[in-house]
Amino acid sequence: MADSGGSERKGIDRELRRGSLELIVLQLLAPGEAYGYEIVSKLTAETNGALEVTDGTLYPVLYRLERAALVAVRWETPERGVPRKYYRLTDAGREELIRLTHEWSTFAKAMNKLLRRDREAK
């Protein structure tokens, strides 16, 4: 029984992370276009490492956003070095960012209210 509870907790954690990663990446792209490495660096810098994700987690999210047409891409080849793939929000991506931000705020407010009630009861 303990095992199944543990794996369930892991599952919830994974789903939360998966859901919030999309919002995080869309938010990081809101000011303007960026390429993969730049997005990872911005995420680490802007959250002081608190929301750090592995590179192997970020790229599949970018892939998902591209396939869903929430971001548009362009390739740029510097004079020296390998081509970079730049991502920018599409109109659909901006709408999705607004929707996810609203969802996240509602969720966070509800959770805070619930946890506060629990603390007050103690």
Q: Is residue 6 near another protein by the rule CB under 8 A?
A: no
Place of tokens 């969720």: 107
d(CA 65, CA 30): 14
d(CA 120, CA 113): 10
d(CA 44, CA 71): 21
R_g of the chain, CA atoms, integer Å: 18
Residue whose CB is less far from another protein, 55 or 115: 55
> Going by C-beta distance under 8 Å and a sequence separation of 6 or more, which residues neighbour residue 113?
none
Q: Is residue 67 near another protein by the rule CB under 8 A?
A: yes
Which of 1, 12, 45, 82 lies at the binding interface for another protein (CB under 8 A)? Answer: 82
Annotate each residue in 15-54 with x if it binds another protein (CB under 8 A) or - if it does not, as one string: --------------------xxx----------------x
Q: Is residue 121 near another protein by the rule CB under 8 A?
A: no
Which of 10, 14, 17, 83 lies at the binding interface for another protein (CB under 8 A)? Answer: 83
Residue whose CB is less far from another protein, 50 or 115: 50
Place of tokens 């997005």: 39
Q: What distance lies between CA 104 and its chain's CA centroid?
A: 12
Q: Is residue 13 near another protein by the rule CB under 8 A?
A: no
**Binding region for another protein (CB under 8 A):** 35-37, 54-57, 59-60, 63-64, 66-67, 75, 81-85
